[in-house]
Amino acid sequence: MEDPGSDLSQLDKLTEESILEAVKNRYQEDKIYTNVGDILIAVNPFKELQIYDKKNHEKYGWKDFRTDLPPHVFHVAARAYGRMRQKQSNQIILVCGESGAGKTESAKYMVQHFMQMCPEDSGDLHDRIIRVNPLLESFGNAKTVMNDNSSRFAKFLELSFRNDGQVTGASIRDYMLEKCRVVGRNEDCGEGNFHIFYGMFAGLSQQEKQDLFLLKPESYGILKGSIERLKMTKHYENQYKENMETLKKIGMTEADKKVMHCMLAAILHLSQIEFRETEYTSGQLDIADTELVDQAATLLEVSSEALGVALISSTTIMAGEEIIVYKSLDQAKDGRDALAKHMYERLFGWIVKKINTNLHPHKSRSQTKVAEIGILDIAGFENLQTNSFEQMCINMVNERLQYFMNNVVLIQERKIYESEEIPFENVDFKDNMNIIQMFEISKIGIWPSLDEESKFQQGTDSKFVERLKKNFPKGHAYSPLLTFARGDRIGFGVKHFAGAVWYNCEKFLEKNRDTLNKDIEDVMKSSKDDCIADLFSVRKGDTGTISNTQYNIRASRKVPGLGVSIRAKTDQGGLQGMDLGRTLKEK
């Protein structure tokens, strides 16, 4: 059953051209997998292939592991599982590649194969482990110009096993959620928002949407980035139903789901809030439509007045006195967007925390755990039409991964040959350590420079770029890796290992600071819903999210009749007709 040409390391001549030609020829024969020693190359077929059925699960088993079988993602999983069983040691599988390469699907297929190889059927546990991937895709994936289901976050899935190979639980660490996507407003640019928003409109009943004050989806600017997403109602309706069933399986109560829907709807209402300048000598702004503030506040169970005031002003302490400072138009918009972004990030982290509690409760951790298999699924190198802070973070992670691959596959292997005095033909490869050092070198590197500029209240994006120009003048060892724009453009280019990328530095400092105005944060902490108050009170963990926080998040007390109570509250009055200027003066 040997597959000729399936291992590129066996090619007579190993060049970029010969590798591309071999992979292309196999792809045209629907052979999407190719080996390079222990590394598997997978090419996205963009169609269904009948190679993941029960027959293939059985063929790629771990007990009678065969090296002569055709390359397959199941083969990678079987090898890791076999090593874990035989050596009782931890295994890690790294899944990386460009956006749209099929990383998320490959990770899902491997999880399915791990469950198939377990000696006994754990029934519901197996099902729940498999189901959480599509759930996280709904909240963490979106359509981009390169990929209809692009992962906008990274995750590390850990599967725990007993000494007999039976899975005992799973946990997920989430990283780098692209939360700025939630406030994107470029109409029909080909970039969609997170899938869950479209799913909510397709899956909720008309009454449920009314209870959340929702209008037609096309009314919301943050959903217009991909008009076609708004039309895929059947697809999203089915996805939404699956998500609700999975949430139930991982232990989410009806009250939890209410909190989730209220927060998602509140984000939509917040995104519609507009501010306008006034003739007040104080410079105070007006909120164009205060009903939107009322609706968001009611859903979040916070004071409409307090939320409205916090959106257009902030307080500071000077000489022991509390001083009110009015926000500029740009500051008010940034504050509104920051609230929406932080709310979505904390909602996402809460869902991951719920998943971990359900799939790997404390009682499971106390059982005999022999080893773990980890799967790192991370966004690939990106070079979009507009690249910002998020793309730079993603691309630097990929620089690190590239260096790791170079080190493991080439440098370490070469050292072994040299130590054993085995003759070998030296392989030239692109060492990217200079790019990594340019970003990380103490004091003058791109990251230290960005952090330093972010410390100053008067720091700006243009000053950050000017700082880089001074740190890397012509003649500097790293200056050939950087390109700076002429004129008014605020940005710079980096010659990454995968190609040159231009970064637009607008809002770099804001994104790096990643802060939420204290007044707005205090309003959220004052929510009468215990769950929402806690979501904004708990500290983030070492992954930058609340998913692995050690703090307890209290359950919500929302009830199925939420819609009725919401409307009763808004009928009692909110910001409509209230003079925020007078309110601020009274403060």
Host domain of residue 474: 389-506
Structure tokens given for 430: 């692109």
Which pLDDT score is estimated for 2? 59
SS3 254: helix
Do 23 and 108 lie in a common domain?
yes
8 Å CB contact between 461 and 506: yes
Parallel, antiparallel, or unpaired: how do β-strands 150-151 and 141-142 relate? antiparallel
Which pLDDT score is estimated for 364? 44
Which pLDDT score is estimated for 573? 53
Judge whether 147 counts as a catalytic residue: yes
* Residue that finishes a domain, picked among 227, 252, 277: 252
Do 172 and 56 lie in a common domain?
yes
Q: Which of 61, 100, 459, 493 is catalytic?
A: 100
What pTM was computed for the model?
Answer: 0.90
Q: Which of 104, 290, 388, 545 is catalytic?
A: 104
* Calpha distance 318→310 (Å, rounded): 18
Q: Is 162 part of any domain?
A: yes
Do 32 and 147 lie in a common domain?
yes
The predicted-structure confidence for 428-476, as pLDDT tens digits, reads as follows 777 899 999 999 999 999 999 999 999 998 999 999 999 999 999 999 9
Do 271 and 216 lie in a common domain?
no
Question: Which is nearest to 247 in space by CA: 236, 237, 258?
Answer: 258
Q: Is 260 part of any domain?
A: no
Cβ neighbours of residue 467 closer than 8 Å, sequence gap 6 or more: 449, 452, 453
Confidence of residue 52 (pLDDT cuts 50, 70, 90): very high
pLDDT at residue 212 above 90?
yes
Do 488 and 523 lie in a common domain?
no
The predicted-structure confidence for 268-295, as pLDDT tens digits, reads as follows 999 999 999 988 777 789 999 999 999 9
Judge whether 99 counts as a catalytic residue: yes
Q: Which of 6, 35, 99, 168 is catalytic?
A: 99
The mean predicted confidence, pLDDT, of the chain is 89
Mean pLDDT of 502-507: 94
Structure tokens given for 414: 């070469």
The predicted-structure confidence for 228-272, as pLDDT tens digits, reads as follows 888 889 999 999 999 999 999 999 999 999 999 999 999 999 999
Judge whether 171 counts as a catalytic residue: no
Judge whether 563 counts as a catalytic residue: no
**Distances in Å between the alpha carbon of 137 and those of 199, 503, 574?**
12, 27, 36
Do 165 and 300 lie in a common domain?
no
CATH number at residue 76: 3.40.850.10
One-letter identity of residue 563:
G
Q: Tell me: is residue 82 an annotated ligand-binding position.
A: no
8 Å CB contact between 128 and 359: yes
* Calpha distance 400→71 (Å, rounded): 27
Name the domain count of the chain: 4
Judge whether 454 counts as a catalytic residue: no
Residue that the structure tokens 């993602």 belong to: 73
Q: Tell me: is residue 97 an annotated ligand-binding position.
A: yes
Judge whether 58 counts as a catalytic residue: no
8 Å CB contact between 282 and 326: yes
Which pLDDT score is estimated for 413? 75
Q: Tell me: is residue 138 an annotated ligand-binding position.
A: no
Which pLDDT score is estimated for 363? 45
Q: Which of 56, 147, 298, 527 is catalytic?
A: 147
* Calpha distance 397→447 (Å, rounded): 13
Judge whether 527 counts as a catalytic residue: no
Q: Which of 150, 304, 387, 504 is catalytic?
A: 150
Structure tokens given for 444: 């003058």
Do 17 and 166 lie in a common domain?
yes
SS3 287: strand
Angle, nearest 10°, between helix axes 304-312 and 518-525? 170
Parallel, antiparallel, or unpaired: how do β-strands 286-287 and 91-95 relate? unpaired
Judge whether 445 counts as a catalytic residue: no
The predicted-structure confidence for 300-347, as pLDDT tens digits, reads as follows 999 999 999 999 999 988 877 888 899 999 999 999 999 999 999 999
